[in-house]
């Protein structure tokens, strides 16, 4: 993968993030922050972000810079993940993906199964326990804090393990599983949450949905963790181990801030929540190395088909 191909794939991911035309200011600010913090000596992600935002680059131009069928498939799959970040893609996102598929010269046979499975996972019902989830924390009075802590840790380990799987589809499951976790934390404290509330809660913390995928893929792309492996594309357990810190830490922090928020009757301000999340995120990233053997062990036995089947329930 050369510099122009990496730049083109990153541009496509950014275009996917804005494809629905309805990103609010919080999400735009988070995507801009990510672009400004991604480091690459040969690519200026911040300038690329401005080019995408101002329409100075196009789907056709980006697609023309990607030479191999494997990388074209990768670019499409990354775009699907970003578009499906906040649920199955909208009509505008579908139009964008159709345009991208045509520009990349991909057939329906090459894209339909991935698109269908990604949509199913993205629309995973938050209130229905999936087969691969840890055992639910009992909603008792008083709340079983130890059970909630264990549940949060198990979600963090699971999401770290999903990051190590070679299929891009595995990353689609991370945000729906985070939403399930928040739902269960809220329910343990007597709150019956819906998807809209949880989305807004994540946005208040600065955990943008599309931006989370852009950051995950951007760091792997520019860090060389997405490359040709055994004739295909994917991530190996050894080379991508450091990348689990992001998903593990984000999930861990989100769970513990949710626990504090709902235990306090949803009375904490946005500033207090963001400060708590930033602190817990650093703690979560620090803990990731301790649990890395468990994350790697989970990744070795995790069957992605279980995730797909759970999404269709």
Structural contact between residues 274 and 204, judged by C-beta atoms closer than 8 angstroms? yes
Q: What is the mean pLDDT of residues 158-181?
A: 84
CA atoms of 83 and 16, how far apart (whole Å): 6
Whether pLDDT at 116 is above 50: yes
Per-residue pLDDT band for 136 (boundaries 50, 70, 90) equals: very low
End-to-end distance of the chain based on CA atoms, in angstroms? 38
Of residues 183 and 235, the one with the higher pLDDT is 183
Q: What is the mean pLDDT of residues 242-265?
A: 88
CA atoms of 37 and 28, how far apart (whole Å): 14
Burial class (CB in 10 A: 0-12, 13-18, 19+), 197: middle
pLDDT number for residue 238:
43
Per-residue pLDDT band for 132 (boundaries 50, 70, 90) equals: very low
Structural contact between residues 213 and 34, judged by C-beta atoms closer than 8 angstroms? no
* Cis amide linkage into residue 142, ω under 30° from 0: yes
- Nearest 5°: the CA angle 238, 243, 246 is 150
- In the chain, where does DSSP find H-type helix? 3-17, 25-37, 45-53, 59-64, 69-83, 91-104, 108-122, 145-164, 169-172, 174-188, 195-205, 209-222, 244-263, 270-301, 304-311
**Residue found under tokens 């139009």:** 95
Per-residue pLDDT band for 172 (boundaries 50, 70, 90) equals: confident
Structural contact between residues 214 and 34, judged by C-beta atoms closer than 8 angstroms? yes
- The answer to whether the predicted template modeling score (pTM) of the entire model surpasses 0.85 is no
Per-residue pLDDT band for 92 (boundaries 50, 70, 90) equals: confident
The percentage of residues in the chain with a pLDDT greater than 70, rounded to a whole number, is: 81
Question: What tens digit of pLDDT does each residue of 290-301 get?
Answer: 998 999 888 888
Query: Which two three-digit tokens encode residue 8?
Result: 């083109």
Question: What tens digit of pLDDT does each residue of 187-219 get?
Answer: 999 898 888 899 888 888 877 677 777 777 777
**Residue found under tokens 């690329």:** 48
* Cis amide linkage into residue 99, ω under 30° from 0: no
Per-residue pLDDT band for 83 (boundaries 50, 70, 90) equals: confident
Largest CA distance in the chain: 59
Mean pLDDT of the chain: 80
Per-residue pLDDT band for 104 (boundaries 50, 70, 90) equals: very high
């Amino acid at each position: 993968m050369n510099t122009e191909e990496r730049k083109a794939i990153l541009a496509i991911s950014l275009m996917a993030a804005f494809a629905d035309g309805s990103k609010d200011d919080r999400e735009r600010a988070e995507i801009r922050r990510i672009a400004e913090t991604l480091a690459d000596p040969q690519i200026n992600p911040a300038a690329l972000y401005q080019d995408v935002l101002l329409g100075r680059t196009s789907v056709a131009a980006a697609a023309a810079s990607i030479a191999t069928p494997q990388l074209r498939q990768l670019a499409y799959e990354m775009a699907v993940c970003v578009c499906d970040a906040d649920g199955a893609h909208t009509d505008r996102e579908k139009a964008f993906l159709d345009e991208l598929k045509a520009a990349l010269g991909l057939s329906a046979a090459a894209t339909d199964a991935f698109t269908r499975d990604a949509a199913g996972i993205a629309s995973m019902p938050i209130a229905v326990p999936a087969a691969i989830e840890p055992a639910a924390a009992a909603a008792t009075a008083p709340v079983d804090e130890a059970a909630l802590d264990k549940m949060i840790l198990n979600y963090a380990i699971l999401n770290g393990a999903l990051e190590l799987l070679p299929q891009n589809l595995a990353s689609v499951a991370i945000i729906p599983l985070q939403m399930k976790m928040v739902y269960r934390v809220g329910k343990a404290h007597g709150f019956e949450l819906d998807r809209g509330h949880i989305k807004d809660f994540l946005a208040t913390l600065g955990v943008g949905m599309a931006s989370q995928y852009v950051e995950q893929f951007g760091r792997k792309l520019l860090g060389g963790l997405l490359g040709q492996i055994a004739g295909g594309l994917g991530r190996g357990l050894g080379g991508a181990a450091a990348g689990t810190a992001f998903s593990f830490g984000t999930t861990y922090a989100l769970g513990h801030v949710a626990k504090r928020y709902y235990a306090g009757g949803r009375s904490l301000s946005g500033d207090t929540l963001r400060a708590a999340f930033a602190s817990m995120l650093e703690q979560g990233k620090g803990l990731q190395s301790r649990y890395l053997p468990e994350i790697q062990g989970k990744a070795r036995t995790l069957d992605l088909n279980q995730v797909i089947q759970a999404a269709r329930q």
